[in-house]
């Protein structure tokens, strides 16, 4: 039985039973018909995934792993803010006429900074430290640069990662300021679980835990019936993630290097998205 599903179910029930509604408050998001998109939310949700035990992909409904990994490679490997370099359309609403999302995400990771060992961007510094100083408590990436927020078409949602090696296991904390639980939760979990797998592989480490911290974990009003349907679905065993054993360079990974073996899942549902 997939523990990722059990974590999702427990989180959703907690939000629905103990969360706070935004009804009566002024909110930014709207539905396509112009109606205000209200939410029910919990503050400070923390979920832990043991990546050594299973790959945390939901089985209640499908998560498109290749598309999720494509986006995380777009940010962390290509360090791009150009949607023309992304193979999905998920960022189209936030791009300008040139296809740029501004100084967000990949742009922030591409900026080089001076260290005693030389100049590194944030990703290359993580890779350097994991190989040369793995027990450092300073292996952190942060994309929430206040100086550039006014030039970002969307403030980063998942904005920082802290990497920590314990024994020979690579653990990570993903910090997220806000999350649409139905649309994005398992998408982000799978992305950053895959990233930890990649960083562990190229650093000669084993995978450990992914800890996901969500400041504002919310379910939109029109998503509540869909969530309730998911909570009653059958849970399958977690699939096994297979990664191309020939890849040991982070910049050589492609989406085709990841395969799910034995992925059973429920049918997909159509989800309205608030913007």
188 is in an annotated binding site: yes
152 vs 96: CA distance, rounded Å: 11
Cβ-contact 64, 87 below 8 angstroms: no
Q: Which two tokens stand for residue 267?
A: 């049918």
Please check if 89 is assigned to a binding site: no
User: Of 51, 157, 172, 196, which is the active-site residue?
Assistant: 157
104 among the known binding-site residues? no
- Ligand-binding annotation for 125, yes or no, is no
Residue 11 · residue 47 · CB < 8 Å: yes
Residue 64 annotated as binding site: yes
212 is in an annotated binding site: no
Tokens encoding 182? 């139905």
Element (H, E) at 5: helix 3-18
φ/ψ of 107, rounded to 5, equals -60, -45
Alpha carbons 267 and 69: distance in angstroms, whole number? 21
190 catalytic? Reply is no
180 annotated as belonging to a binding site for a ligand:
yes
Establish whether 186 is an annotated binding residue. Answer: no
DSSP code at position 239: P
268 marked among binding-site residues: no
Binding site residue list for dUMP: 137-138, 177-180, 188, 218-220
Residues annotated as catalytic are: 157
Annotation: binding site: 64, 137-138, 177-180, 188, 218-220, 274
């Amino acid at each position: 039985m997939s523990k990722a599903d059990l974590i999702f179910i427990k989180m959703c029930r907690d939000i629905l039973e103990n969360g706070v509604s935004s009804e009566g408050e002024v909110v930014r998001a709207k539905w396509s018909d112009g109606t205000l998109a209200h939410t029910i939310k919990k503050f400070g949700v923390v979920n832990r995934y043991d990546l050594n035990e299973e790959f945390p992909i939901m089985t209640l409904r499908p998560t498109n792993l290749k598309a999720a990994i494509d986006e995380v490679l777009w940010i962390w490997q290509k360090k791009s803010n150009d949607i023309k370099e992304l193979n999905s359309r998920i960022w189209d609403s936030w791009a300008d006429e040139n296809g740029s999302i501004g100084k967000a995400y990949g742009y922030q990771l591409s900026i080089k900074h001076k260290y005693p060992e030389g100049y590194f961007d944030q990703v290359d510094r993580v890779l350097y430290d994991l190989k040369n100083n793995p027990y450092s408590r300073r292996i952190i990436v942060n994309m929430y640069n206040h100086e550039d927020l006014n030039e970002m078409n969307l403030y980063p949602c998942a904005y920082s990662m802290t990497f920590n090696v314990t024994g020979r296991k690579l653990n990570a904390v993903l910090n997220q300021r806000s999350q649409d639980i139905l649309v994005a939760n398992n998408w982000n979990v799978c992305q950053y679980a895959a990233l930890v797998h990649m960083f562990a592989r190229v650093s000669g480490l084993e995978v450990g835990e992914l800890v996901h911290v969500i400041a504002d974990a919310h379910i939109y009003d029109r998503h509540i019936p869909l969530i309730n349907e998911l909570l009653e679905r059958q849970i399958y065993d977690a699939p096994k993630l297979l990664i191309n054993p020939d890849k040991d360079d982070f910049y050589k990974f492609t989406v085709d290097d990841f395969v799910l073996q034995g992925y059973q899942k429920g049918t997909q549902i159509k989800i309205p998205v608030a913007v």
